[in-house]
Structure 1
Amino acid sequence: MNDNSSRFGKYIQLRFQNSSVKSAKINEYLLEKSRVVHQDEGERNFHIFYCMLAGISAEDKEMYGLLDPDLYRYINGKYGSPEMVNKWSTKYNEVCNAMDMVGFEEQEQVDMKTILAGILSLGNIKFEPQETGILKATEQSNGWLKAAAGQFGVQEEELVKCLICTTSVTRGESIKRNHSQQQAEDARDSIAKVAYGRVFGWIVSKINELLAPNVDLNEEHQEIGMFLISQILCL
């Protein structure tokens, strides 16, 4: 779907013993997390967001808190034609089947999708100053704030605090600095990028666990390493 697209690099190690592949390990580099919150003209976000919105059933969308794709700022109105939506749906089924085959448990997949849905909700939170000058989420954003907090498994108050201020501790004294509107928006987008990167890293680590069960690295073996720059199909 995007054959010339480079979104991350990966180094793959294949370990051989007696001419048979015994295990594999993946290291990922340079994940383009900025794409989560901003896409240049003519580009899209990572495929998994479109796959989820197209492939998850209406009943399950309610469980994950997913709404109309056009509502999400991080999607930026680039959901696609009906033909493209069908491709996203097919790709979603392929991703789910692949995770099943590798050995991801059902609850692990649910947790992953919930966090990804939370990233979309987070992107719709906007801010406005109160009479005191301290920022708060706009009234229109309260629903998105509640959804994102639930999807991330945190309290709304804690999530807001991360967005509108920074607290540092110096010599045992806590110093609180309130954010400007631009700083709050940057904090929101930074959390979205970090959350996406953590999910991606967790997937790679989980795959490595499943590709190398009970491997004794002290045993003599041969190894082939490959460094690839490739597109992200799963995420």
Structure 2
Amino acid sequence: MSTTVENFVVNAVARRLERWLRVAVVAGLLFVLADPANVHGAMVYVYKNARGSVLITDHPRVKTGYTLVKRYGTDAHDEASNATRTFSSAFDAMIDTAARANGLDSALVRAVIHAESAFDPGAVSHKGAVGLMQLMKATARVYGVSDRYDPWQNLSAGTRHLRRLLDRHGDTALALAAYNAGSNAVTRYRGIPPYPETKSYVEKVLRLHALYRQQG
């Protein structure tokens, strides 16, 4: 393997890891950092040996033969950081346009996308939801979507759907619960349904919404 190709592979792996770490930290997925007394930030190291093998670890020292090529640090407890902004930048213009067209707070749209797909337009859930805002086939059909993987079609339909839920339920938390569990469930329980997944989803999106609003 040539040096150029090796460097390309290392950099690609490192960039992917960095993006994942930023999202995981902001979304509260690094459970090992749950004790504030022990949080000093997470460090991740990327090493390479002479044969081009890549080693990714949280240990600053590894066995002989490996050279440090990348190092990333994250302040896991700093919710005011701009970590998520970097992750979502590829779709910022689309998100702002779709949010504005439907009278939505773009920070709320980002929070929903973050929770639904982690900004991956190719994301597919185990239930068959697809794309940035995780549209089911039936929902996509209502809004005239021909390709759920298309970022703009997905965003346009997802924001229109979110707008409709806000208008119907008159409350952000209830609209989010309906986005996750369906409007009928919210109506039936006259509030957020007592489903652990839905309750966790609403709390997560509201937390992310506050974070994105801080970022401006």
TM-score above 0.5: no
**Structure with the higher strand share, 1 or 2:** 1
Bigger RCO of structures 1 and 2 (CA < 8 A, at least 6 apart) = 1
**Structure with the higher helix share, 1 or 2:** 2
The alignment's TM-score, normalised by the length of structure 1, stands at: 0.28
The alignment's TM-score, normalised by the length of structure 2, stands at: 0.29
